[in-house]
Amino acid sequence: DSGVTQTPKHLITATGQRVTLRCSPRSGDLSVYWYQQSLDQGLQFLIQYYNGEERAKGNILERFSAQQFPDLHSELNLSSLELGDSALYFCASSVEQRSTEAFFGQGTRLTVV
Amino acid sequence: GESVGLHLPTLSVQEGDNSIINCAYSNSASDYFIWYKQESGKGPQFIIDIRSNMDKRQGQRVTVLLNKTVKHLSLQIAATQPGDSAVYFCAENNSGGYNKLIFGAGTRLAVHP
């Protein structure tokens, strides 16, 4: 168990809908990262937050947004969902802002039908 | 469990043999590298890391080698066991200051008794 908790584990929703994925980082970790993993794309970095502020952005679609709350948990919001958004979404956390071991949660499996 | 990367390159080894998994990274400015192991249905799990001021680092049964000249990283697993069967990803920190791990495509390691 990495100490990073993601909910829900599985999510099935229809195209056009909006969903929210939740992540609780390890105790003491200030950085939260979101990754998308699909079969043909591997692990793609989406966004990083550190202590409530956005720190780095990857290939995150405009339909996607994230935030980190004062209690350090983070949410990834996916809207106007398309079939191609079906993937595993992972959250990871680390103590520092950069260059440190990041611990991953078990992921949320999103299926858009 | 979930299938990750159905078309990944696969390394097949016999139990007890040594395994070498290779990775080419993209950015000569990357200064931090991590190897992750991902078992079916689970999130990536940290194995070992190395900074660019080193060319070798050893852990328990694992060794990471870094060749900055050719931008190549390798993971050596000694006395490979069935429990080592997984997909292995290398990741580089390519952020210019903030954590933005860029993952390679992954290699599937299959250990046969």
pLDDT for residue B71: 93
Dihedrals φ, ψ of B82, to 5°? -55, -30
Contact residues on chain B for A45, CB-CB shorter than 8 A: 100-103
Nearest to B51 by CA among B106, B90, B92: B92
**What is the chain B residue with the closest CA to A32?**
B99
pLDDT, tens digit (0-9, with 9 covering 90-100), for A60-99 = 999 999 999 999 999 999 999 999 999 999 999 998 777 5
Note whether A101 contacts B95, CB cutoff 8 Å: no
* Rounded Cα–Cα distance for residues A97 and B46 (Å): 17
pLDDT for residue B49: 93
pLDDT, tens digit (0-9, with 9 covering 90-100), for A13-68 = 999 999 999 999 999 999 999 999 987 667 899 999 999 999 888 889 999 999 99
Residues 29-68 of A with CB under 8 A from B: 31, 33, 35, 37, 39-40, 42-45, 48, 50, 55-56, 58
**For chain B, first and last CA: distance in Å?**
22
* Rounded Cα–Cα distance for residues B113 and B82 (Å): 7
What does each C-alpha distance from A22 to A89, A106, B66, B76 come to in angstroms?
10, 12, 36, 35
